[in-house]
Structure 1
Amino acid sequence: MTLNSKTLELTLPDNFRRDDFIAFHSRDSHSVAERCDEQSVTKAVMHQHQPMTLGFHFDQSSLRVQCEGENAADFALQSVAETLLGLDQGTAEFEAQFSQHPEVGALLQQRPGLRVPQSATPFEALLWAIIGQQISVIVAINIRRRLIQAANQAAPNNLLAFPDVETVMALSDERLRETGLSRAKLMAVRALCDGIASGELPLDDWLHKPEAELIYQRLLALKGIGPWTVNYALLRGFNSLDGSLHGDVAVRKNLGELLALNSTPDAKFTEHWLAQFSPWRALMAAHLWARANAAGY
């Protein structure tokens, strides 16, 4: 196999939070699909059914991004890099509007420029959201790793790429169950893959022209996929910052601590509270996540 490469230089905003981006990709200490150090992230991805790697190398306010793989020459490196970094998210407008908010102003000022790192593809975001339903982050990371290993898409730099739709569809139910997926989650994954394969769920088209309500309704119609899963996937996979993550346990827990409540607020209270931050409800949720964990979830 002939490896090609492509490199570009990006100038980052003054308030870009490099450590948050690195922390997000450092969640799995086994470094199966991502390898990180204090100044870089190398991530394996799928492109045109071939594994490749993306390297992010930080130097103060600048960034060198490199892709390496058989199909690297026609890879939209700048567009993908800017999306993964969250550079087109409206954080400045959000912070300007709510920096003096009596409940969250101080929180926003602690983390200026907080962005939500994106998954490499909407499919990766959706699969990660399904895996993470109603289990701890640590358990979800372990299942994700076993799924990547089961798919065995070997990329340059001794990494394995998160599988694409076709690769997951080729895995048997038994093999997927061995990763730790419950039967209900297996059925949700199969329904998702079938919808993508049939054209009912055109994820790539939606990525280039996101229509949050249409995506929400189409995904919600799948058995085993509920509002939390869809809103999380919209945030991580489609750069949509207005999904309401009121059902998220960590969001509710951190909100209770922020407001000094006697107990963790329920989903209804949290939904009502987040509504005031529309169209940035999910970005507000990300700030609540960051109170406890720079990596988010």
Structure 2
Amino acid sequence: MTATRSVTTSLPSTFRHRDFLAFHQRDKTELAEKVDGNLLRKGMLINGVTCCLSLELNDDYARLELDADAETPPLDNASLMSLLIHMLGLNQDIETFESQYHSHPEISRLLAHHSGLRIPQTVTPFEAITWAITGQLISVEAAVSIRRRLIETTGKPHSSGIWCSPDPNTLAATDIDTYRSCGYSNSKATTIQRVAQMLVDNELDLSLSANPLAVSRDLLSIKGVGPWTVSYTLLRGFGYLDGSLHGDVAVRRNLQQLLDCDEKPSEKETQAWLNDFSPWRALVAAHLWAMQSEQGY
């Protein structure tokens, strides 16, 4: 038995379709996310229900369909529309940023290549923080592989065959040995388990309506969660554009290229440079990330 619901929203003329689709193509096995042309299919547990989200991008509009293994969909139309806007980053005020810095000597060079850049979002902030903890101090490829094994071990399949990522209830109840078998260090396993348990116990608020500064404070109090993990979680899970990713290796490496420095800037130097762009520090960092796929810098 399945239940479906769908919503549609318009897209700005500057929307970068490729950025959104590429974000969801990191796992080439397509276990839990599959991209076919302009269509993304993603498995998620929503309120405990296995669901398949199908998000179709067209030139000037996007359509999101929810296919739930239940008698009724776990989200109403308004909630599904909010999810669509969130996933696409349409509530990010990038127009103000670009207007303010279009003549800046360095930022204007980034905008020349990446005008319209938005931050594609995870479906939930919990998905973002599990990504962030998984990816601490390892390559993206390694993080993708470990995350895939965790989904295979603890996730659930939707009736369509796509796999759904585990939710907080599942990961709170997952023992450390299972995490270790998926490739997690003891420290990362304990941290994810702890965050999941805090959500189950209502000791942590990661709802999209939560105050990002309060979320930052609460996350930093958790052992195993540092500034980079918090900034990444806020950026990918909440669309918060003012976290400082000064500790990110790719940000520092690409800043060296942008500024034509002989040596890679230190974390302290990178932090000082990014601070000039508050409240857009994380968005500037995302533009620096995007340099990796561009030539001519």
The verdict on a shared fold, with TM-score over 0.5 as the criterion, is yes
Partner Cα separation in structure 2 for residue 146 and residue 123 of structure 1: 18
1:33 shift after superposition: 0.6
Instruction: Verify the 8 A CA contact 2:172 2:194 in the aligned structure 1.
Output: no
Quote the residue 2:34 is aligned against: 35
User: Which residue of structure 1 lines up, in the alignment, with residue 133 of structure 2?
Assistant: 130
Aligned counterpart, 2:237: 237
Percent sequence identity over aligned pairs = 40
Shift of 1:156: 3.8
Output aligned runs, 1:43-62, within 5 Å. 43-62=42-61
Q: Is the 8 Å Cα contact of residues 124 and 237 (structure 1) preserved in structure 2?
A: yes
Question: C-alpha distance in 2, partners of 1:269/1:77?
Answer: 42
How far apart, in 1, do the equivalents of 2:65 and 2:255 lie?
39
Amino acid at match of 1:218: D
Q: Distance in 2 between matches of 1:253 and 1:277?
A: 18
Residues 51-100 of structure 1 show CA distances to partners (whole Å, capped at 9, x for unaligned) of 10111112221222211012426342111011000000010000000111
Q: For 2:206, give the aligned amino acid.
A: L
* Distance (whole Å) between structure 1 residues aligned to residue 231 and residue 274 of structure 2: 13
Question: TM-score with structure 1 length normalisation?
Answer: 0.94
Alignment correspondent of 2:288? 288
Number of residues paired by the alignment?
290
Residue 64 (structure 2) pairs with residue 65 (structure 1): yes
Give the secondary-structure state (helix, strand or coil) at the position aligned to 1:190: helix
Taking a change above 3 Å as real, the CA distance of residues 181 and 53 of structure 1, as seen in their structure-2 partners, is same
CA distance in 2, matches of 1:221, 1:37: 41
2:197 matched to 1:194?
Answer: yes
Distance 1:65 1:190 in 2: 31
Shift in alpha-carbon separation, 1:73–1:219, aligned structure 2, 3 A: closer
In structure 1, the partner of 2:253 is: 253
Tell me if the contact between 1:5 and 1:73 (Cα under 8 Å) persists in the aligned partners.
no
Q: 1:169 deviation in Å?
A: 1.7
Which of 133, 143, 149 aligns to 2:152? It is 149
Classify the secondary structure of the residue corresponding to 2:283: helix
Is 1:78 paired with 2:81?
yes
- SS of 2:292's equivalent in the other structure is coil
Tell whether the 8 Å contact from 2:168 to 2:197 is kept in structure 1 after alignment.
no
1:163 paired to 2:166:
yes
Q: Deviations over 1:172-195 (max 9, x none)?
A: 211111111101111111221222
| C-alpha separation in 2, matches of 1:285 and 1:156 | 39
**Matches of 1:273 and 1:223 in 2, distance apart?**
28
C-alpha distance 242-63 of structure 1, shift in aligned 2 (>3 A): same
Moved over 4 A (4+): none
Letter aligned with residue 49 of structure 1? G
How far the C-alpha of 1:112 sits from its partner, in A, is: 1.4
Shift of 1:212: 2.1
Give the root-mean-square deviation of aligned CA atoms: 1.3
